Amino acid sequence: MSTTARWVPAWWREVSIALFWAVLLVVTALWVAGGGVQDLGTVSGFLDSTGRLTGLVASALLLVQVFLMARIPWFEQAWGQDQLARTHRLVGFTSFNLLWAHIVLITLGYAAGSPKGLWGTIVDFTVDYPGMLLAIAGTVALCMVVVTSVKAARRRLRYESWHLIHLYGYLGAGLALPHQLWTGTDFVGNLAATVFWWTLYAVCLAAVLVFRVGVPSVRMWRHRLRVVDVRDEAPGVTTVTVGGPRLAGLPAYGGQFFQWRFLDGPGWTRANPYSLSAAPDGRTLRFTAAHAGEGSARLAGLRPGTRVLVEGPYGRMHAGTRTRRKVLLMGAGIGITPMRALLEDLPQAPGDVTIVHRVGTREDLVLDREIDALARERGARYVLVEGHRAPGRDSWLPAAAGHLSDTEALRQLCPDVAERDVYLCGAPAWMDAVRRAARDVGVPADHIHLERFTY
């Protein structure tokens, strides 16, 4: 069990926000220096100039997207998976909308000042401008990513299909951006702009190559992870243990998650996020997953000796984010697995930790015997909350507790909850309900820790 966890200081988040706005400020300043404001005097000039600005900002945000997808440890730890995912989504949709504003405005601006008309201008762009065919292909790829990221579409897609399509975001960025350096008014003959943008491209490319390719490859070679044990934990739930040399040097802590790939045949290229269900012991890593799709269902068929490739560890669900001596751990369904690892990994005195295990029925229990044994050993309090949710009520409680509000129930389960850090893992709606109740009883927002794995 680790006694302390390393984590990125909170000011890293403020630094990253400042860098983000600095990039947008420089982009706007370069547009102004390139005559962007002076060109607003005519209809064609206004359309063309605002089209250039929206294209520049869209390009910058697209590069930010690539940077966020690179899984850089310092940023991931500073923001946490939940906030990083929301930021990724917001920046992505904003960039996509600005991209289409750029296309429309630039086309109309050029057409307004050209005798070729609208359709002649579109043909001229496509055929005669360097890099435009690549940009069109990149835009199509980005459209595929955005369309499948809409919630209604995501619900209809398997995780494996969504993940494969989402990788086209890299292709789209690589194809859509270069044309501006070859033909853009803000780049041709402008050394400062050219240096600035090529530097952004280089930084983003380096981040992807280092953290999405290099680090996992080095860790695969260094630790040579292989499956040690596979066991059925419950119907539709599998626990996998992997091992390898020098794992004591891997900075992983109970409650964090990895992106896992098992090199056992077709489908190995698609990574799946699974949280550790036991604290790392320097020799093995263990996770427990429910069979929610093809990727997780094939876990039951893994054989000992299968090679494993991992990315991570990721997430702020670990002892290093703890701010108070007392802690409340709450897990629903398979979300109890990182709570079990945290219970094992948290330094604690008797009475410091309360763990709440929420299930629909006894048949849904996972790792309950291990949790009960750990709680007894460490002097923690283990509470089982059983029963299906009341229909028509947005609550984390079972129907049998319908006479209580979410806030009242939380106070009864843990009277001093306002003095604790609260860690949550479960279905998004369930976590939202618990989070609201915790805030209502006085838990500050920065003392509530959670991760979301929905795509």
pLDDT in tens, the chain (455 residues): 333 444 566 677 888 889 999 999 999 998 888 787 887 888 888 988 898 899 889 989 988 888 887 878 777 777 777 777 778 788 888 988 998 898 889 888 878 877 777 778 777 767 666 667 777 777 777 777 777 666 665 666 565 565 566 666 666 677 766 666 666 655 666 788 888 888 888 898 899 899 888 888 888 888 999 999 999 998 899 999 999 998 988 888 999 999 899 988 777 777 888 999 999 999 999 999 999 877 788 899 999 999 998 888 888 888 888 889 999 999 999 999 999 999 999 999 999 999 999 999 988 899 999 999 999 999 999 999 999 987 778 899 998 888 889 999 999 999 999 999 999 999 989 999 999 999 999 999 889 998 876 54
Domains, the chain:
11-213 (1.20.120), 224-314 (2.40.30.10), 319-450 (3.40.50.80)
- Residue type at 264? D
Contact 80, 87 (CB under 8 A): no
Q: How many residues does the chain have?
A: 455
- pLDDT number for residue 335: 93
Output the CA–CA distances (angstroms, integers) from residue 13 to 19, 77, 293, 373, 449, in the order listed: 10, 9, 34, 38, 16
Residue 100: both structure tokens together: 């289409």
Give the 3-state secondary structure of residue 2. Answer: coil
Residue 363: what are its φ and ψ, rounded to 5°?
-65, -20
Residue 58: burial class (beta carbons within 10 Å; 0-12, 13-18, 19+): buried
DSSP secondary-structure letter at 322?
A: -
Give me the long-range contacts of 426-431 (CB less than 8 A, separation at least 24): 426/330, 426/331, 426/332, 426/333, 426/335, 426/358, 427/332, 427/333, 427/335, 428/452, 428/454, 429/394, 430/332, 430/335, 430/358, 430/396, 431/332
- pLDDT number for residue 290: 93
- Residue type at 455? Y
Q: How far apart are CA 101 and CA 445, in angstroms?
A: 36
DSSP class per residue in 71-126: --HHHHHHHHHHHHHHHHHHHHHHHHHHHHHHHHHHHHHHHHT-TTHHHHHHHHHH
**Measuring CA to CA, which residue among 217, 209, 239 is closest to residue 307?**
217
Q: How far apart are CA 404 and CA 397, in angstroms?
A: 9
Strands of 284-290's sheet in order across: 226-234, 237-243, 284-290
Residue 202: both structure tokens together: 């280089």
- pLDDT number for residue 2: 39
Q: How far apart are CA 443 and CA 416, in angstroms?
A: 10
**Measuring CA to CA, which residue among 285, 298, 390 is closest to residue 341?**
285
Q: How far apart are CA 330 and CA 339, in angstroms?
A: 7
Q: How far apart are CA 309 and CA 314, in angstroms?
A: 15
